[in-house]
Amino acid sequence: MPVRKSSTAFVVTENESIPVVDAHIVYIAEGQVEAAAAQLPQPLADELLSLKERGLFAAKAGQTELLPAFGLVPSRYVLCTGLGEAATPGALRAASVYAARALLARQLGRAAVRLEGGGANDWRDRTQAVAEGLLLGGYRMPVFRRAPEEATELREVALLVPPGEAEARRGAEDGLRLALAVAEGVNYARDLTNLPGNRLTPEGLAEEARALAKQHGLACTVLDERELAAQGMGGLAAVGGGSDNPPRMIALRYDGAAGRPGADVIGLVGKGITFDTGGISLKKPEGMEEMISDMGGAAVVLGVLHAVCTLRVPVNLVLVIPAAENMPSGRALKPGDVITSLSGHTIEVTNTDAEGRIVLADGITYAKRLGATKLIDVATLTGAVLVALADVATGAVSNDDAFLGELLSAAKSAGEKVWPFPNYPEYHEMLKSDVADIRNATSHRHAGSITGGLFIGFFAGDTPWIHLDTGGTAWLWDEKGTEPKGGTGAMVRTIVRYVCGEPL
């Protein structure tokens, strides 16, 4: 599945050149309904104030109201969308997601937005938030029906800036460029995560990586099952050994800062379990279809790569994806097995459903051998993170507080929720094995997300490392807030923001 280029045609134009569209989008903060109404023709203002008085629209986050324009403005409708307490970039992004959904629900494909801002950076940030939200809100997952229904798309959006203000236009155009790259990366990750397991095997994921590398002129290496064995990647080989679709180790390189002496090489390692039955430690059948999303970490790193390449960011990246199916068979990994990882460390397997951390152990080691000086792994690693954080936030654990602080700051700017877990010695003790260097799961369910992450951290060693557990955020059973049903692409925005630096 190639990256789906945005079908929305954006144009930055001056307020005096307002096009005729289906709807003009008006952003309103709580407590500003009266001020917003004062900017509308009287009949529309009266209707908006009436909605407020009746308690139907208070400009809270997530609220939208579509007002028929009746020829009073050059559009069929005025769409009022609530910002909540303040017009921050995060609030603008969220309000734009809801606006896009409201437009598409009424089969309206052309919109205009009157932008506001201060300096060039403010224009950039606000424009990026608006355009990014509209693109993310317009996402539709791939379908495989014989005769798919025609779906309305957001075809045209005019971004209106004040006439004669060159700084505003430059800032808006820069923000639009950023939004297109990031939103395409997120939506590509969503597409990959939503693919059924029979349509995205480990080799299929490798083909996706090769196609993305070819699109951007990058180097891509794929190791097959024979090469895995030859190089000693015992973790990935063991996890993938139970499937008729053999495992693959995928690596890509982006040298955007090749000419900068001493530049860090950031290693992004994404869990690529294209379907997870649990192996011999078989999962319950109810809800197992969600396990098409167990390669959500791999989808994220590929989405990040697309955005970084599109923006030509001056950074060095190594991307590693250990890809496998976790299936039960006569060749499958068994509880009690002891395997040797690429690092040479041995692993006692106590639970074959804790397979993601095993393949990531080889992925982390491989990234270090390819020159990574900092590591971020992304994985739908545990169900325990759902117990701790529900589907609201991504869990994080790290061996470097300063590094983690930078990523948390990037997450806040990107509008994604990440919560750090502690890294105490007592948690490491829980992973000690009587027969191997480490065991892949504890004998109890306590601190499951923390110990799962710290298992991976054992293989990071002294290299600065962050683990992101998207077990609750990478895939949703139903649309929730600004996130869609199915794959969400959670953490693409955060990691792009981090690798690009502050601000983008």
b/e code 426-447 from CB counts within 10 Å (16+ = b): ebbebbeeeebbbbbbbeeeeb
Write the burial class of residue 155 (CB in 10 Å: 0-12 exposed, 13-18 middle, 19+ buried): middle
Closest to 404 measured CA to CA, from 426, 441, 376, 432: 376
The single residue of 140, 283, 369, 412 carrying the catalytic annotation is 283
The single residue of 357, 374, 439, 497 carrying the catalytic annotation is 357
What's the full length of the chain, in residues? 504
| Backbone torsions φ then ψ of 307, nearest 5 degrees | -65, -45
Q: What is the 8-class DSSP label of residue 244?
A: S
Tokens of 479: 């649309």
CA angle at 175 for the pair 138 and 107, rounded to the nearest 5°:
20
For CA atoms 148, 150, 154, 156, give the dihedral sign. positive
Q: Tell me: cis bond preceding 503? Omega within 30 of 0 counts.
A: yes
Q: In angstroms, how far is the first alpha carbon of the chain from the final one?
A: 28
Active site residue 369: no
* Cα gap 453→338, rounded to integer Å: 20
* Cα gap 458→454, rounded to integer Å: 6
Active site residue 210: no
Alpha carbons within 13 angstroms on the beta-carbon side of residue 172 total 23
Which residues are tagged catalytic? 283, 357
